[in-house]
Structure 1
Amino acid sequence: MKDEHTPIIMWFRRDLRLSDHPALTAAAESGRPVVPVFLHDDLVEQLGAAPKWRLGLGLEAFSRSLDGLGSRLILRRGDALAQLQALIQETGAGAVYWSRSYDPASIARDKKIKSVLTEQGVMAKSFAGHLLFEPWTVATKTGQPFRVYTPMWRAVQGRDVPAPDASVTGLLAPAKWPSTEELHKWQLGRAMNRGASIVRPYVHPGEQAAHEHLNVFLDRVALYSKHRDRMDMDGTSNLSEYLSLGEIGPRTVWHRVQQAALMGVSGTDAFLRQLVWREFAYHLMYHTPQLVTGNWKPEWDSFPWNTDPNHPEVVAWTQARTGVPVVDAGLRQMYVTGRMHNRTRMIVASYLTKHLMAHWKIGMQWFDDCLIDWDPACNAMGWQWVAGSGPDAAPFFRIFNPQTQAEKFDPDGTYLKRWIAEGEKSPSDTAISYFEAVPKSWGLRPDADYPAPIVALAEGRTRALSAYESRKSH
């Protein structure tokens, strides 16, 4: 290995923060110069329009945070291994640190990089930080990975979660900084087109904003279990985009919520269960990587889903013109804000995979492109859970009824009015924004008639159940 006084390259990925960051803490405490780096490699290039744009905003915010420490973020584009090798050559670095990723493509990339750099005498060290529990540390009593959520929750809810690291307040600079590319030239928001200006007011990137969101949520966490499914209320944590990009660490969230519980705040377990649901998604993706590429249950490979994304019914769904108000409202919320309420996500997904009989992959890939809080594990598991092909899944025949769901979780129609303009004498600004965000080529206008349902709810349900029964009989 190279001299222990040589610089450390701190390779940032989905961990754009200064606190609760084991890799960065280790680099800072080493006493060695630290070169913060972000690499725009093939995996970044493959991101969908909204998550790539949101990443760009996160990088801007994080770069300012590093500037505040007297450091800087070095940007390079190209093959990750080649760029790291070039930076090692330029800086004389003796080590590369990074936070672990758990999706199959990142694991393959990181294993190769660690192997090559180690052979070349450079320390390549990965750290925890994106999850509460490393996937290989959680197992059933027989040593197997969990396949059902509730037993996993019971297994981990009493486990010790290490306290988050304090925020890094200083980084030793290298004798000479390597060259950097300019973020704006990467054009990470190019594919957003005119939608970027519509979504932008709803996005508050960066670590400071993440902590502010957490503070606001903690003031109402006692109402979480009561309000989290209400589409007309702001009852969720709104932390998903920050956890996705690592602008806040999961250990920080866990301990802040636990502190609230110790102070007598009720209902905190309901939220911690959802935080561990995220862990479950990563647990499954790590142990069964087919989760992100195909049916988790292989017996669903023969199910007669429609796989044509250009089918008229699917196009109507993607354009939020299904004629089912709550489905359209959810999709329109996503186009205007980059997010969608979790209850609505389930309704929207159920409608596509069951009433329309479209493959869950179509929906997953559409969300991959449109969500600013996109997460590889949570998105894949969420779609497969609703579709019936995934782990811990609701049975396929459990079909969400959009109408009754709307009546239960949006009883006064507030959510629908917020996002549906057609037929309203004075539509809301948020409802109008949908028409300003979507492509002009769709030819949509707020003063047009609202469409009739493309598939009657009873008809769609009958069609789905018929296909399910036919599959069972074979």
Structure 2
Amino acid sequence: MSKALVWLRRDLRIDDHAALYHALKLHAQVYVAFVFDTDILDALPDKYDRRVEFIWESLNELKLALQQKGGDLLIRHGKAIEEIPRLAQKLEVAAVYANRDYEPLAIARDEKVAQALLRVDKTLHLFKDQVLFEQDEILTQTGKPYGVFTPYKRAHLAKLNPFYLKAYPVQRYLKSLAGGKAEGMPSLESMGFSRTNLKTMRLPTGIKGAQQLFDDFLQRIEDYHDARNYPAIKGVSYLSVHLRFGTISIRQLAHAAWQLSLAGNEGAATWLSELIWRDFYFQVCYHRPDLQLERRAYRLEYDQLPFPNNRDWFAAWCEGRTGYPIVDAAMRQLNETGYMHNRLRMVVASFLVKDLLIDWRWGEQYFAEKLIDFDFAANNGGWQWAASTGCDAQPYFRIFNPQSQSEKFDAKGKFIRKYVPELTGLDDRKIHAPYADTPNKKDLLVSMPQIDYPMAIVDHAVQRQEALSLYKNNVK
């Protein structure tokens, strides 16, 4: 009659869950727990945090789902490195089961928990769950981790088969869930957090919300390869936050994408490629812990570029008042919703680094504080790609032109008008660069007095040359 404890982290679901499956299969009684880890929460600069509320809402649903299956969800608020060993002792379990994480800080946390458990004669078992291939499962022929995506993708696809996409049959073992009702949920307020605008955003949370979004996306996935580039249309899956917190299984998503791509669905093939990018960044993060622990550039020759780092320009970028409408609309979307369209993440990152000449780490940190789907591996990978300092990054001399990006991907200015409403009255041509044809702001204000929008804080053509010089002359 051995007992086990399943420790949830970024896997807030019941179905197709590696750690839960193994625990249920091997033990007569299985408890399930989640810790609101104060080592993480206390470091958040803003207690108005949509991520915490998303987790809280998803746990509410998960707790009810476990109760309906005869179990419950134990929830703690404190340091995970203390709460998990304490709970394991209290419940007298033989072992703790969890799904493996790949960020250096999370790995260090798990090592501390494992050591604390060993001191009381208990073990921590970790399993692959949040990726399709992990750690050293895909290496080059010389046994090294890949640093370029395209050959990594080829190796990934060559190895991918139904075995790696098969769901863990958790349901058949749920009879082993430990019964009895646990304590109630701590309120957000009791943990020092407040309600956000999450519900008014109508972002569905939890297991049901993830499935709802996935079902909807499958109806339009065929168009994904093209539609994903246009922020004003419903072209992406909107599943990134659900993948981040594991309210849906990566195997479920990849299996659908893989099958559809084999049938010739171009959109599904493109989406599968995006899921492989996610695996790629996880393995980069795992093999290069200095990216997180020391905030190093992947390409060390670019680690100490002398960015001028104008703080006023950075504030304008953060607040969406750069005078470049597509950049400002994207930043306002981020600030208002915690989400930013993926195409625009590339645009604003390029603008910060290559136009404003601000260290990519400043932008990476701002995104880390604001994005509801923040994931260190993907965020760091994306920022270093845009800054030309990362693995398989765009060459430093390829610099996004924010105006041409706007004209191409938001031609009618629909997205801009939503988040920069002061420009609503401009025509579809002028909205991308309001002051381009006027000598100064005053001339436009005379003809359109309702406009209250800043002049462009920099000249793209001038800044482009400055960026080229900075990179060319300072590579170590």
Decide: shared fold, TM above 0.5: yes
1:164 counterpart = 2:167: yes
Q: How does 1:64-463 map to 2 (within 5 A)?
A: 64-159=64-159, 160=161, 161-168=164-171, 170-174=174-178, 179=183, 182-187=186-191, 189-190=193-194, 196-197=196-197, 200-292=200-292, 293-307=295-309, 311-424=311-424, 449-463=452-466
Contact 1:199 1:338 in 2 (8 A): no
- Structure 1 match to 2:3: 7
Q: 2: CA distance between counterparts of 1:270 and 1:283?
A: 20
Q: 1: CA distance between counterparts of 2:26 and 2:462?
A: 65
Structure 1 residues 18 and 295: alpha-carbon distance in aligned structure 2, compared to 1, 3 A threshold: same
Q: 2: CA distance between counterparts of 1:457 and 1:240?
A: 31
1:467 counterpart = 2:455: no
Q: 2: CA distance between counterparts of 1:168 and 1:45?
A: 36
The range that moved more, 87-96 or 314-323, is 87-96
Deviation at 1:451, TM superposition (A): 0.9
Structure 1: runs of 5 or more not aligned: 427-446
- Count how many residue pairs are aligned between Structure 1 and Structure 2: 445
Match of 2:13, SS state, is: coil
Q: 1: CA distance between counterparts of 2:474 and 2:55?
A: 42
Match of 1:400, SS state, is: coil
Deviation at 1:9, TM superposition (A): 0.9
The aligned amino acid for 1:242 is H
Identity among equivalent positions (%) equals: 34
The aligned amino acid for 1:103 is E
The aligned amino acid for 1:464 is A
Structure 1 residues 205 and 10: alpha-carbon distance in aligned structure 2, compared to 1, 3 A threshold: same
Deviation at 1:209, TM superposition (A): 1.4
- Structure 1 match to 2:43: 46
Deviation at 1:458, TM superposition (A): 1.6
Match of 1:316, SS state, is: helix
Q: 1: CA distance between counterparts of 2:213 and 2:85?
A: 38
Contact 1:91 1:176 in 2 (8 A): no
The aligned amino acid for 1:98 is A
Contact 2:20 2:170 in 1 (8 A): no
Q: 2: CA distance between counterparts of 1:83 and 1:301?
A: 38
Match of 2:474, SS state, is: helix
Contact 1:202 1:337 in 2 (8 A): no
Deviation at 1:141, TM superposition (A): 0.5
- Structure 2 match to 1:17: 13
- 2:32 is aligned, of 36, 41, 51, to 36
Structure 2: runs of 5 or more not aligned: 427-449
Q: 2: CA distance between counterparts of 1:464 and 1:287?
A: 30
Structure 1 residues 283 and 33: alpha-carbon distance in aligned structure 2, compared to 1, 3 A threshold: same
User: 1:144-198: per-residue Cα shift (whole Å, max 9, x none)?
Assistant: 00111111000011222240124537353547666566243444643xx7xx226
Q: 2: CA distance between counterparts of 1:200 and 1:171?
A: 38
Match of 2:471, SS state, is: helix
User: 1:446-468: per-residue Cα shift (whole Å, max 9, x none)?
Assistant: x7601111112222212212212
The aligned amino acid for 1:279 is D
Structure 1 residues 461 and 333: alpha-carbon distance in aligned structure 2, compared to 1, 3 A threshold: same
The aligned amino acid for 1:43 is I
User: 1:300-355: per-residue Cα shift (whole Å, max 9, x none)?
Assistant: 233112456xx110000110111100001111111222211111000000001110
The aligned amino acid for 1:280 is F
The range that moved more, 448-457 or 253-262, is 253-262
Q: 1: CA distance between counterparts of 2:128 and 2:42?
A: 24
Q: 2: CA distance between counterparts of 1:183 and 1:18?
A: 23
Q: 2: CA distance between counterparts of 1:317 and 1:199?
A: 27
The aligned amino acid for 1:452 is M
The aligned amino acid for 1:46 is A
- Structure 1 match to 2:435: none
Q: 1: CA distance between counterparts of 2:199 and 2:184?
A: 29
The range that moved more, 50-59 or 320-329, is 50-59
- Structure 2 match to 1:432: none
Contact 2:3 2:29 in 1 (8 A): yes
Contact 2:225 2:267 in 1 (8 A): yes
Q: 1: CA distance between counterparts of 2:359 and 2:232?
A: 29
Match of 2:158, SS state, is: coil
The range that moved more, 36-45 or 128-137, is 36-45
Structure 1 residues 107 and 25: alpha-carbon distance in aligned structure 2, compared to 1, 3 A threshold: same
Deviation at 1:45, TM superposition (A): 3.6
Contact 1:7 1:32 in 2 (8 A): yes
Deviation at 1:28, TM superposition (A): 2.2
The aligned amino acid for 1:115 is Q
Match of 1:34, SS state, is: strand
The aligned amino acid for 2:32 is P
Deviation at 1:266, TM superposition (A): 3.7
Structure 1 residues 123 and 362: alpha-carbon distance in aligned structure 2, compared to 1, 3 A threshold: same
Q: 2: CA distance between counterparts of 1:350 and 1:398?
A: 10
User: 1:356-376: per-residue Cα shift (whole Å, max 9, x none)?
Assistant: 111111111111111111111
- What TM-score does the superposition give when structure 1 sets the normalisation length? 0.88
